[in-house]
Amino acid sequence: VKINFLILPLFSVAKVVKWEDGRFYFFEEERVKFREELQKIKTPNDGKGLTPEILYYSILVQLSSQSFHEIEKLDKMILSPEEKEKRLKEFANTIEERLKKIIEDSGGRFVEYRKSKGDSFVVTWKLGNQTVKSQVKGDTFAVISAGFCLDGDDKRHTMNSIVRLAKDFKEVIEFVTSY
């Protein structure tokens, strides 16, 4: 039964009247203990005597309510423009350390980096006696240009993977030339 103008809280019991147009309209709310009891349900065992459908529905409503409160908390956590700028500066200050760690963990040696066009960086690194200049995206360190031939596959790599790839290639060449 569709009840028009229903503005009552969840699980309220209301008297309705069937109007001349054939629709049901809210008449008055019945104050009953039912709503208060449903709001006390926290686990399925708390709802003894209720049908599984009503019990399930009350749990879904509680979960929905909890989700709504979590979203409200997240909204309050949105950063102000000043805080966002401050955090971006802190992040930028750590770029050199992050690049250094990535390259050294992959087997290379970090030399320097400099800002390039847009949000990219040119990173200079070494592997043995070979110096390589790679261009990477500033936010993800995804490779724009590896600095050595990858036959057009540059964009499929990250800073980490090109250093490892160069290291593997160097080891293969050294192995082959040692015979």
Whether 111 and 133 have beta carbons less than 8 Å apart is answered as no
8 A C-beta contact, residue 164 and residue 106: yes
The yes-or-no verdict on residue 5 having pLDDT over 60 is: no
Q: Note the pLDDT tens digit of each residue in 19-53.
A: 788 877 765 655 555 656 666 766 666 767 777 77
Coil, strand, or helix at residue 8? Answer: coil
Strands 130-137 vs 143-145: parallel, antiparallel or unpaired: antiparallel
Tens-digit pLDDT profile for residues 109-136 = 999 999 988 889 999 999 989 999 999 9
Using the 8-state DSSP alphabet, how is residue 23 labeled? -
pLDDT score at 14 = 65
- pTM over 0.75, yes/no: no
Phi, psi of 29 (to 5 degrees): -85, 140
Tokens 């992959």 correspond to: 106
Tokens of 93: 């200050």
